[in-house]
């Protein structure tokens, strides 16, 4: 086979190291573990990167894809946390960063009629590591309903409510918690959870349930933080809530980050 010039390994004279270089927006089929059916098939958008020492002109992009494909299409926390070390075995770098972003689906029954519908949640598995150790972070984007306590207190009829999104990131000290359980933890902290299928009795129920459980955006993040504090497997969390306000020309926002 003809010997080809390796431009990436040539010396760069600018003496500027690069924090992260790699590939983004690589779509990859995978099967992720779930509680109801043991696993489900989905598609992830993958980003993979390493640091680049100042004396190298470039990195070898094909090696990122080789490492990913060598793992096969089954994704779990244990295998994904090993990927940074495997990347660093193939590339002259000290740290690696990997992100899997994918939709996770749950079948949810409407609260009164029991009619089932499919809900999707965005999930991110993020690993940052060296050859010796890595940090795994799971992030979930959970849509919820919030009803304003102030609006309820001052209005003669009704109260304004809105859809919000909770971005919930956790790191584990023990056995990881099921994605479904983390979603439920967040949903229970809002005025009401969302459903894809609602008949009229269900719509009445969720409307009244939200009215009976008003929360500010501040209440929402504090509720999630308090529930997280009770989970022995959680070592660190960050909960961010953003309400897409229905009567304001802005969003309401709050965040709590804590190491346990």
Instruction: Tell me the pLDDT tens digit for each residue of 72-108.
Output: 877 777 788 889 999 999 999 999 999 999 999 999 9
pLDDT at 219: 98
26-55 pLDDT per residue, tens: 999 888 888 888 888 899 999 999 999 999
Name the more confident of 210 and 131. 210
pLDDT at 128: 96
186-240 pLDDT per residue, tens: 999 999 999 999 999 999 999 999 999 999 999 999 999 999 999 999 999 999 9
| Residues 113-127, mean pLDDT to the nearest whole number | 97
| 1 — pLDDT class (breaks 50, 70, 90) | low
For residues 157 and 65, what is the distance between their CA atoms, to the nearest angstrom? Answer: 58
Rounded to the nearest 5 degrees, what angle is found at the Cα of 78, between the Cα atoms of 72 and 84?
75
pLDDT at 73: 75
How many CB atoms within 10 Å of residue 163?
A: 14
CATH number of this structure's domain 7-259: 3.10.270.10
Could you tell me how many residues make up the chain?
260
Q: Which residues contact 237 (CB under 8 A, 6 or more apart)?
A: 168, 169, 170, 171, 225, 228, 257, 258, 260
pTM here? 0.92
pLDDT at 76: 73
Residue in 168, 254, 256, 248 with CA at minimum distance from that of residue 215: 254
How many CB atoms within 10 Å of residue 117?
A: 13
Domain positions in the chain are 7-259
SS (H, E, C) the chain: CCCCCCHHHCECCCCCCEEEEEEEEEEEEEEEEECCCEEEEEEEEEEEEEEECCCECCCCHHHHHHHHHHHCCEECHHHHCCHHHHHHHHCCCCCEEEEEEEEEEEEEECCCCCCEEEEEEEEEEEEEECCCCEEEEEEEEEEEEEECHHHHHHCCCCCCEEEEEEEEEEEECCCCCCHHHHHHHHHCCCCEECCCCCCHHHHHHHHHHHHHCCCCHHHHHHHHHHHHHCCCCEEEEEEEEEECCCCCCCCEEEEEEEEC
141-159 pLDDT per residue, tens: 999 999 999 999 999 999 9
| Residues 13-22, mean pLDDT to the nearest whole number | 93
């Amino acid at each position: 086979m003809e010997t080809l010039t390796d431009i990436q390994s040539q010396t760069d004279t600018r003496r500027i190291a690069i924090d992260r270089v790699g590939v983004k927006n690589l779509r990859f089929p995978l099967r992720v573990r779930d509680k109801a059916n043991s696993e489900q098939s989905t598609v992830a958008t993958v980003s993979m990167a390493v640091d680049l020492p100042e004396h190298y002109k470039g990195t070898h992009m094909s090696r990122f894809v080789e490492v990913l494909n060598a793992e096969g299409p089954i994704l779990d926390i244990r295998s994904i946390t090993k990927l940074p070390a495997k990347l660093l075995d193939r590339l002259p770098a000290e740290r690696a960063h990997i992100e899997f972003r994918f939709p996770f689906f749950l079948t949810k029954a409407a609260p009164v009629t029991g009619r089932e519908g499919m809900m999707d949640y965005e999930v991110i598995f993020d690993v940052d590591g060296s050859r010796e150790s890595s940090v795994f972070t799971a992030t979930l984007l959970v849509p919820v309903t919030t009803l304003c306590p102030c609006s309820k207190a001052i209005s003669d009829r009704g109260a304004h409510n809105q859809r919000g999104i909770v971005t919930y990131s956790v790191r584990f000290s023990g056995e990881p918690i099921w994605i479904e359980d983390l979603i439920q933890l967040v949903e229970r902290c809002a005025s009401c959870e969302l459903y894809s299928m609602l008949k009229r009795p269900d719509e009445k129920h969720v409307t009244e349930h939200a009215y009976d459980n008003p929360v500010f955006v501040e209440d929402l993040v504090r509720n999630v933080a308090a529930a997280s504090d009770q989970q022995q497997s959680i070592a660190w969390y960050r909960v961010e809530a953003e309400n897409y306000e229905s009567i304001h020309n802005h969003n309401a926002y709050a965040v709590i980050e804590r190491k346990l």
